[in-house]
Amino acid sequence: MYKVFINDVPIILSTQPKMGNRYETFSIKTVDIVKLLDDIVSEKIFFVNLYHKKEYKLLKHLKKKLKVITAAGGLVFNQKEQVLFIYRKGRWDLPKGGVEKGESLEEAAIREVEEETMVQRLKIERFIDVTYHILKRNGEYKLKETFWYKMTTDYTGKLVPQVKEGIKKVKWKNFDESQIAIQNSYENIKLLFPPEYLIKHPIDRVI
């Protein structure tokens, strides 16, 4: 099973022909994806299950219907176990960006974190997961596939937001601050954090 988000609404890709009473199920092979996405964006449909009996064909069919953008990014911890966040478009996010020609996913992830935050001396500890979300550019829906890595750094220097990419702030956040920030983040970003970070926390102060 996969979750693909559009405007924070999850589309479920599954091998289950029924996903509960709330969900409308469509064949991922034959569905008119543009019409379906338009209906989700216009809030005509809220719960969608895209079905195929073979799991390995779920993403395969979706990628045939939508142009794919490949990106990479990092969940970065410093020596104080603080998490690196960026603030863009009114939400807290994690640094990420498109993979350039000739780059490996790991190289792209490190480069994007450096460019968006100016954090240096990044080391990849492990691969975390892939997230999927659908966006609309120039009137066309596209599938963004982002590969995420857990990173560490001993960098203690100045944080500089990449303004040309719309980033307003870059901040290290401790555990409690991270819990609050996650509540004002994106659903696919929440999937990257360990469960203890996702405890509902009252937003009781300006961050």
Residue 204 is predicted with a pLDDT of 44
Q: Please count the structural domains in the chain.
A: 2
pTM: predicted TM-score of the whole model, two decimal places: 0.92
**32 and 95 fall within a common domain:** no
Q: Are residues 31 and 80 in the same domain?
A: no
pLDDT of residue 140: 97
Residue 145 lies in a domain: yes
Report which secondary-structure segment, H or E, holds 34. Answer: helix 33-41
Q: What is the per-residue pLDDT for 203?
A: 46
For residues 171 and 138, membership in a common domain is answered with yes
Secondary structure tally for the chain: helices H, strands E: 5, 11
Q: Which of 79, 177, 146, 165 is closest to 119 using CA atoms?
A: 79
Residues 57 and 85 in one domain: no
Q: Is residue 207 part of a domain?
A: no
Of 44, 65, 86, the last residue of a domain is 65
Is 143 within 8 Å of 66 (Cβ atoms)?
Answer: yes
118, exposed or middle or buried, with CB in 10 Å at 0-12, 13-18, 19+? middle
The string of pLDDT tens digits covering residues 4-42 is 999 999 999 999 998 888 999 999 999 999 999 999 999
Listed residues 65, 82, 99: the one ending a domain: 65
- 42 and 139 both lie in a single domain: no
**What was the pLDDT predicted at 19?**
86
C-alpha–C-alpha distance, residues 117 and 113, integer Å: 6
Low-confidence ranges of the chain (pLDDT < 70): 200-207
For residue 156, the domain's CATH number is 3.90.79.10
Q: Which pLDDT score is estimated for 198?
A: 83
Range of the domain at 129: 70-198
203 within some domain: no
Same domain, 46 and 23: yes
Establish if 39 belongs to a structural domain.
Answer: yes
